[in-house]
Amino acid sequence: MALIPIILIPDPVLRKVASPVAEITDGTRQLLDDMAETMYDAPGIGLAAPQVNISERIIVMDCGRDEEPELYKMINPEIIASSQERSVLEEGCLSIPNQTADVERPAHVDVRYLDVDGNEQMLHCEGLLAACVQHEIDHLDGVLFIDHISRLKRDMIVRKALKDLRHAAGRG
Ligand code: GNR
Ligand code: NI
């Protein structure tokens, strides 16, 4: 197990469309383990492979409480149905540190994915898990949560985040 550095905006890897995984290998499983460790360490409730500089369609999520962890490892996840009903949730992103915004998305989604053994799985997601899985699959398409809010709010968040990061790097 190993922690992997998390990529921050404005790195272009976060804007690329990630490639499907063609073959699930021990390397894929090792990456999923390392991503889970990195997610818990951050801490975050989800992590997509582009956030660790790997442009492949792989995500991990755990929206469970501390007492009841619920880790999902998903390969080539796809949203196959979305509810008409929408819900608004405050989102953040490990690649845009210290910034949050209310994001409106379908309230429920059905996700199809491959598990670590290559078996097809289906998961019905609601609440925080629904927001999280949509946020993670967006990362696989080069989309960030700030793309779902007004341009004014987006520009403000990006400006603040970049300023924060400059200060953190000691160049501000
Ligand atoms: O840790 C995270 N919290 C979160 C909160 C609401 C909706 C989505 C998320 S995902 C985020 C971690 C992250 O950046 N995943 O890509
Ligand atoms: Ni994110």
pTM of the model: 0.97
Which CATH number goes with the domain that contains 111?
3.90.45.10
Residues whose CB is less than 8 angstroms from the CB of residue 55 and which lie 6 or more positions away in sequence, other chains included: 13, 16, 17, 18, 19, 49
pLDDT (average), residues 12-18: 98
Ligand lying nearest the CA atom of residue 125: 1
Q: Classify residue 82: in a domain, yes or no.
A: yes
Q: Classify residue 89: in a domain, yes or no.
A: yes
Ligand lying nearest the CA atom of residue 136: 1
Q: Classify residue 1: in a domain, yes or no.
A: no
pLDDT of res. 170: 77
Residue bearing tokens 């491959």: 114
Q: Classify residue 4: in a domain, yes or no.
A: no
Expressed as residue numbers, the domain containing 90 is 12-168
pLDDT (average), residues 76-94: 98
Q: Classify residue 6: in a domain, yes or no.
A: no
pLDDT of res. 172: 53
pLDDT (average), residues 80-102: 98
Q: Classify residue 108: in a domain, yes or no.
A: yes
Q: Classify residue 19: in a domain, yes or no.
A: yes
Q: Classify residue 7: in a domain, yes or no.
A: no
Assess contact for 109 and 128: CB atoms under 8 A: no
> What residue ranges line ligand 1, CB within 6 angstroms?
44-48, 51, 89, 91-95, 131-132, 135-136, 139
Chain mean position to CA 45:
8
pLDDT (average), residues 119-124: 98
Secondary structure of residue 146 in the 3-state scheme: helix
Least-confidence region, from 62-71, 79-88, 143-152: 62-71
Total number of domains constituting the chain: 1
Annotated active-site residue 23? The verdict is no
